[in-house]
Amino acid sequence: MSTHKAGRDTTVLSDCLEVPGIGFIPVNAFVLHSEQPLVVDTGLGLPDRNFLETLGSVLDPVDVRWIWLTHPDRDHTGGLFDLLAAAPKARVVTTFIGAGIMSTERPLPLDRVFLVNPGQSLDVGDRTLKAFRPPLFDNPATVGFYDDRSRTCFSSDCFGAPMPSAELAVTDNVGDLAAEQLRDAQLLWATVDSPWIHAIDTDKYLATVQPLRTMDPEIVLSTHLPPAVGLAPSMIDTITTAPAADPFVGPDQQALEQMLAGFEPAGSR
């Protein structure tokens, strides 16, 4: 994992995963340096990642007051329980459904939970964070938020995009990618992560996008996209076209066997 700033108030804890045939998927967590420090998501749960160590290079974990879990998928919860142990004053911001999903693996202590629904707000001392449901999501517990003090939208999976290289996946500015490449990658991600987009009423979907235009964020921070500064209008235009994008069809068994045939296990030489 590596770290870099996104605007004045946020630090990105960046990581990525390679997905054959798709690209390198950014996997970010964030620290909002508010009066009551807040961590957004907690990274991957793979054994070679040490989320707490990376976080500690930015902020003493004992000072963390809030952990905003945008949703309880495993690429968002890897360091959660280590952080809860290291941050005794921290509470996990989630939804009733999110806490329930977590309980199927390792229950959250209910005295450490703080439930926030879309449309509600969280006071973190020097600012109020406004919770919303992103237009694109892959988990019913998904809740992002908008910080109007820094004009930053934390969008969870929405606006994600696989990158063509690991270097671009952990860059501090997705503007390093050509605009057409970014558009195509975001549409691919939309069809992979939110396949329901092809089976809904388009007008109702577009109505869920409009609040983002009203929000007019300067910075968009997605779990699965490098920081995007000044790109919100074009990225919003991109996701409005997602219902008409080609549906994603993953590899079948024959394609998997072809992949494996060309794979040389480590240590086989």
Domains, the chain = 2-254 (3.60.15.10)
Residue showing tokens 């920081």: 227
CA dist., res. 70 & res. 217, Å (int): 18
pLDDT on residue 84: 96
pLDDT on residue 113: 97
Question: Whole-model pTM?
Answer: 0.93
The closest of 148, 198, 174 to 26, measured between CA atoms, is: 174
Pairing of strands 152-156, 219-222: parallel
pLDDT on residue 263: 66
Tokens matching residue 185: 């990658």
Q: Enumerate residues 6+ apart whose C-beta is below 8 A from 71.
A: 98, 137, 138, 139, 141, 142, 143, 156, 157
Exposure of 84 in the CB half-sphere (CA atoms within 13 A): 18
pLDDT on residue 265: 59
Q: What stretches in the chain show pLDDT beneath 50?
A: 269
CA 105 remoteness from chain centre: 21
pLDDT on residue 75: 93
Number of H helices, E strands in the chain: 8, 15
Q: Enumerate residues 6+ apart whose C-beta is below 8 A from 149.
A: 9, 126, 127
Contact yes or no for 223/137 (Cβ under 8 A): no
pLDDT on residue 49: 86
Element (H, E) at 17: strand 16-19
